[in-house]
Amino acid sequence: MVDIATRVHNHNWKIDPIVRSLIDTDFYKLLMCQSIFRNKPDTTVVFSLINRSKSVRLGDLIDEGELREQLDHVRSLSLSRGESTWLRGNTFYGKRQMFRPDFMEWFEGLRLPPYHLEKRDGQYELTFEGKWPEVMLWEIPALAVLMELRSRAVLRGMGKFELQVLYARAMARLWEKIERLRGIEGLKIADFGTRRRHSFLWQDWCVQAMQEGLGSAFTGTSNCRIAMKRDIEAIGTNAHELPMVYSALTTNDADLAQAPYQVLADWHEEHDGNLRIMLPDTYGTEGFLKNAPDWLSTWTGIRIDSGDPARGAETAIRWWQEKGEDPLKKLVIFSDGLDVAKIEELHRQFAGRVKVSFGWGTMLTNDFRGLAGERLAPFSLVCKAVSANGRPTVKLSDNPNKAMGPAEEVARYKRVFGVADQVAQDLLV
């Protein structure tokens, strides 16, 4: 039986806007947003979309009108009543009222600020400028829009059954991964794949497949909308933008050297337990740990997001041991460039030495490699804070291929944070 109302509704493209909710975003964006709203509400920032995969010519693939239509749609979104109720009433990381009433009131009134879009050399230059708490919420929707418009552009030419088989193959591939993951005893893994997902519907499918296939080994999703819809845990803590902006706001080297710890001092005040996860690689993990204040060694764990992950984890373990902490009580979250083989390897190496957890991103929600030639293969798109109150931001990370910022500032940061030569790692995504 045809549901006429649904069909008529479907005639409109709005049946599947790419971003369908303000909380179709990563949970840690909301945690950070609240922190910024509290600590640095008046900071003016510029966020910019950067396609590290120059060979993927988004400007040629994606129609500018369609892109504007999707971005305008994102600007039309506001928090629904149900979403607000969920954020206010749900338990996150075992805690009620994670989001404070003043933040929620502000968020309920929020619309995303304007965007600036230009096409240059086959790429889009997409930037967002304004108050930090508002602009930062563009990151995930902007990435999701670009990623999915690219998918749609490639899918457009396919036949109905060709399409169905494409998804059939992607499903079979993911299920094989899940079957391998099932073999890892004590596995804990979450979906971190919102930002570079193939599409919303596909991410939603992947999350459900993980739920059914892994049971309690699947600990949740970073995507708030999907967490709410599927009644599972929303997962995430904090990201590089905090130390990047805090650092850019400093005016001398001494303050700069302390900025990453100031971020965590603010976080320390706000959060406890499993939310006390440090992300040490913004300006080099080794220097960060060497100069870290003692109270940081009491934190619950660490997230390893660049460089050789095994080396990063070993560094953290040594550091905890030096500080008299028991690594067995510490959590190491791996979240960079994971796929099943790497997950197996890291789990083998660290299970039983620390608590291990995985945030699986692109290869969970966008592994279409080889399924339409390489036309649907994931690519490396990021959306980053590039300046704060007019001063440029810098990121070094543990992989020089992920470094960002003006050359002279990169050099200064390297000096201040004592970063020596680093090993370059290929960027798959």
Using CB under 8 A, which of the segments 4-12, 48-56, 71-79, 128-136 binds a second copy? Answer: 4-12
Distance between CA 139 and CA 22 in Å, rounded? Answer: 12
Under the criterion CB under 8 A, does residue 42 sit at the interface with a second copy?
no
Site string for a second copy, 121-160 (x = CB under 8 A): --------------------------------------xx
Per-residue buried b or exposed e for 104-135, using 16+ beta carbons within 10 Å of the residue's own CB: bebbbebebeebeeeeeeebbebbbbbbbbbb
- Please report whether residue 183 would count as binding a second copy according to CB under 8 A: no
Q: Which is nearer to a second copy, 171 or 217 (CB)?
A: 171
Rounded to the nearest whole angstrom, what is the least distance from the CB of residue 236 to a second copy in the complex?
24
Binding part of the chain for a second copy, among 66-74, 129-137, 162-170, 388-396 by CB under 8 A, reads: 162-170
Number of helices and strands (H, E) in the chain? 18, 12
Query: How far, in Å, CA of 386 to CA of 49, rounded?
Result: 10
Q: How far is the CB of 221 from a second copy (least distance, A)?
A: 15
**Distance between CA atoms of 199 and 146, rounded to whole angstroms?**
10
Select from 12, 81, 120, 161 the one that contacts a second copy (CB under 8 A).
161
Q: Which stretch in 112-120, 204-212, 227-235, 419-427 sits in contact with a second copy by CB under 8 A?
A: 204-212
In the complex, the smallest distance separating the C-beta of residue 80 from a second copy, rounded to whole angstroms, is 17
Within positions 63 to 102, which residues make up the interface with a second copy, using CB under 8 A? none
DSSP string, 114-135: P-EEEEETTEEEEEEEEEHHHH
Q: How far is the CB of 190 from a second copy (least distance, A)?
A: 18
Closer to a second copy by Cβ: residue 15 or 265: 15
Sheet containing strand 189-191, edge to edge, reads: 218-221, 189-191, 355-360, 331-334, 301-304, 277-278
Interaction residues for a second copy, span 209-248 (CB under 8 A): 209, 212-213
Is 171 a binder of a second copy (CB under 8 A)? yes
* The token pair that represents 245 in the structure block: 């902006």
- Residue 229: count other Cβ atoms within 10 Å of its Cβ: 17
Residues 52, 403 contacting (CB under 8 angstroms): no
Which residue's structure tokens are 């040490």? Answer: 280
Q: State which of positions 263-282 bind a second copy (CB under 8 A).
A: none
Interface ranges with a second copy (CB under 8 A) = 1-3, 5-6, 9, 159-162, 164-165, 167-169, 171-172, 175, 208-209, 212-213
